[in-house]
């Protein structure tokens, strides 16, 4: 006499029976009432019959996070299942960013994908695959009244994420020789890498873009922007988006997730930025080059960020000093860039009557038109820079010591640029 099932075991068995009943009904709807295939189908979908068959067919498919088929549909090598939480966390975007919540893909015989759909069923927040992997006793009892059969079926289902045979690549897969040695002529000084398609990451990207482009909330946000109203959701645009079709008319031959996307795989634009430079004009009717320099977008941002950094009264330690010097380096980089842009103008512009710059500033920006001592010019530009920066920070307690430090730091990059 078998032991009565617990409430949880009954729920799991009902979940299994409902799944099989729904699949059977879909197939029966396509047949006439007197079609002899109906009896055959009904026998196939008896739970014990279907589960025994599924435990065999599950070997024909594999759950993966990185697949080979998208690289080339005829490639026969290995695909891999790598839990994102087990991967090294780096700053670049990769599968590790998915965390604990992600979609595993399935590759292999498309005719066996119904087994994966079965194992994706969820009970109390856990998939049946997860229950099989943990050899959950209640799931086993729901599968079969025979404990030995139940254990065998769970082990077979849990094998969905196990690698198939030994790792291998294929002539139609991508392979890269990665140099790790000292002598490029030594064949032993290379690793042979076989890149795989990060199918779980690709699916997350596709879901995100679909939501940003077509969800009701995204549409409401765009309407609010058009009407000039506030909306809690940001509007995200993806210009020059391309769609790569994988699998042609049979996307299921590539993988399960590819089939769910109808073969669509988004490709973000990988293009160099378009340089939108402001036309360079002579500095007329201004008494200092820093009056124009300070209007540069990056300089305005640096002033704001540097002021916020200092007003926060950072601790006087090495980290603070390094951060301060990084700000100064960024200011001076912008000054050098500004200078280089001005020197693209035709030589002699500083002799125009409209130019009111001091003579040594003219010599710095228009060197071919001004005969001045380079050391003297650099000293004046460094001094003018230090005075300008102190003035921008005049609401803070800055004075002579800061002026001397700014001037000292400015000399070296100015000397290096002047060559």
Highest mean pLDDT among 88-97, 98-107, 270-279, 378-387: 378-387
Q: Is the pLDDT of residue 368 over 80?
A: no
For residue 199, what pLDDT band results from cuts at 50, 70 and 90?
very high
Lookup: tokens for 192: 């042979």
Give pLDDT, residue 399: 87
CA-to-CA distance for 306 and 77, rounded, in angstroms? 54
Provide mean pLDDT across the span 38-67: 92
Q: What angle (nearest 5°) sits at the alpha carbon of residue 188, between those of residues 185 and 194?
A: 105
My answer on whether 342 and 260 are in the same domain is no
Has residue 272 been placed in a domain? no
Cβ contacts of 339 within 8 Å, gap of 6 or more: 364, 365, 417
Q: Can you tell me the mean pLDDT for 21-44?
A: 90
Which tokens in the block code for residue 330? 């960024």
242 and 383 inside one domain: no
Q: Which pLDDT score is estimated for 312? A: 84
Shared domain check, 43 and 142? yes
Give the mean pLDDT of the chain: 90
Q: Residue 208: inside a domain, yes or no? A: yes
Question: Among 160, 153, 148, which Cα is nearest to 12's?
Answer: 153
Both 241 and 306 in a single domain?
no
Q: Are 155 and 11 part of one and the same domain?
A: yes
Residues 6+ apart with CB under 8 A from 226: none
Residue 114 sits in the same domain as residue 225 = no
Residue 304 in this model has a pLDDT that exceeds 60: yes
What's the rounded mean pLDDT across residues 345-364? 92
Q: Alpha-carbon distance 44 to 50, whole Å?
A: 6
Question: Within a domain: residue 167?
Answer: no
Tell me what pLDDT residue 2 has: 62
Q: What is the pLDDT of residue 19?
A: 95
Q: Please check whether residues 365 and 413 belong to one and the same domain.
A: yes
381 within a domain of the structure (yes/no) = yes
Distance CA 310, CA 320 (A): 10
| Contact (CB, 8 A) for 12 and 139 | yes
Band (pLDDT 50/70/90 cuts) for residue 249 is: confident
Q: Which helix (H) or strand (E) holds 324?
A: helix 318-342
| 165 pLDDT higher than 90 | no
Domains identified in the chain, total number: 3
Mark whether 307 and 379 lie in a shared domain. yes
Q: Is the pLDDT reported for residue 164 higher than 90? A: no
Question: Measured between alpha carbons, how far is residue 53 from residues 50, 57, 115, 153, 328 in Å?
Answer: 5, 6, 10, 10, 71
Supply the pLDDT for residue 178.
93
Name residues whose C-beta falls within 8 Å of residue 43's C-beta, 6 or more positions apart in sequence.
49
Task: Please check whether residue 79 lies inside any domain of the structure.
Answer: no
Q: Is residue 205, in this structure, part of any structural domain at all? A: yes
Same-domain status, 125 and 208: no
d(CA 283, CA 367): 14
Parallel/antiparallel/unpaired status of strands 122-123 and 126-127:
antiparallel
pLDDT tens for 263-281 read 999 999 888 877 666 788 9
In the prediction, which pLDDT does 63 show? Answer: 87
d(CA 87, CA 78): 19
Instruction: Say whether both 296 and 256 belong to one domain.
Output: no
pLDDT band at residue 104, thresholds of 50, 70 and 90? confident
Same domain, 21 and 150: yes
How many helices and strands (H and E) does the chain possess? 16, 8
Residue 24 confidence class, pLDDT cut points 50, 70, 90 = very high
Condensed to tens digits (0 to 9), the pLDDT of residues 226-238 reads: 888 899 999 999 9
Whether pLDDT at 322 is above 80 = yes
- Domain of 362 in residue numbering reads as 289-418
Residue 384 has pLDDT above 70, yes or no: yes
Whether residue 88 lies inside any domain: the answer is no
CA dist., res. 12 & res. 165, Å (int):
32
Contact 392, 304 (CB under 8 A): no
Higher pLDDT, 418 or 211: 211
pLDDT of residue 153: 95
Within a domain: 184: no
Do 151 and 221 belong to one domain?
no
């Amino acid at each position: 006499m078998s032991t009565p099932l617990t409430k949880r075991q009954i729920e799991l068995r009902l979940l299994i029976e409902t799944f099989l009943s729904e699949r059977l009904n879909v197939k029966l709807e396509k047949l006439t009432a007197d079609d002899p295939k109906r009896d055959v189908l009904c026998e196939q979908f008896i739970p014990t019959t279907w589960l025994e068959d599924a435990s065999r067919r599950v070997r024909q498919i594999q759950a993966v996070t990185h697949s080979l088929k998208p690289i080339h549909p005829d490639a026969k090598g290995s695909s891999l299942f790598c839990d994102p939480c087990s991967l090294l966390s780096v700053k670049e975007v990769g599968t590790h960013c998915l965390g604990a919540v992600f979609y595993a893909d399935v590759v292999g015989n498309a005719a066996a994908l119904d087994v994966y759909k079965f194992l994706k069923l969820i009970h109390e927040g856990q998939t049946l695959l997860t229950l099989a992997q943990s050899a959950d006793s209640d799931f086993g009892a729901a599968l079969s009244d025979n404990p030995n059969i139940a254990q065998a079926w769970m082990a077979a289902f849990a094998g969905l994420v196990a690698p198939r045979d030994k790792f291998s690549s294929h002539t139609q897969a991508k392979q890269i020789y990665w140099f790790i040695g000292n002598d490029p002529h030594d064949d032993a000084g290379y690793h042979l890498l076989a890149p795989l398609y990060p199918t779980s990451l690709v699916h997350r990207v596709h879901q995100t873009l679909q939501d940003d482009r077509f969800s009701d909330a995204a549409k409401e946000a765009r309407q609010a922007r058009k009407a000039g109203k506030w909306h809690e959701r940001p509007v995200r645009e993806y210009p020059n988006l391309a769609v790569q079709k994988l699998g042609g008319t049979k996307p299921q031959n590539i993988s399960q997730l590819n089939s769910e996307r109808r073969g669509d795989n988004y490709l973000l634009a990988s293009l160099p930025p378009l340089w939108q430079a402001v036309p360079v004009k002579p500095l007329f009717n201004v008494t200092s080059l820093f009056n124009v320099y300070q209007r540069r977008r990056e300089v305005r941002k640096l002033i704001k960020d540097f002021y916020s950094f200092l007003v926060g009264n950072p601790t006087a330690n090495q980290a603070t000093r390094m951060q301060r010097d990084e700000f100064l380096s960024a200011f001076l980089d912008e000054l050098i860039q500004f200078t280089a842009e001005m020197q693209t103008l035709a030589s002699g512009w500083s002799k125009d009557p409209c130019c009111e710059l001091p003579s040594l500033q003219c010599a710095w920006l228009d060197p071919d038109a001004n005969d001045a001592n380079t050391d003297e010019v650099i000293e004046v530009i460094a001094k003018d820079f230090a005075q300008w920066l102190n003035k921008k920070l005049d609401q803070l307690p800055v004075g002579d010591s800061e002026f001397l430090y700014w001037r000292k730091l400015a000399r070296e990059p100015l000397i290096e640029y002047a060559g």
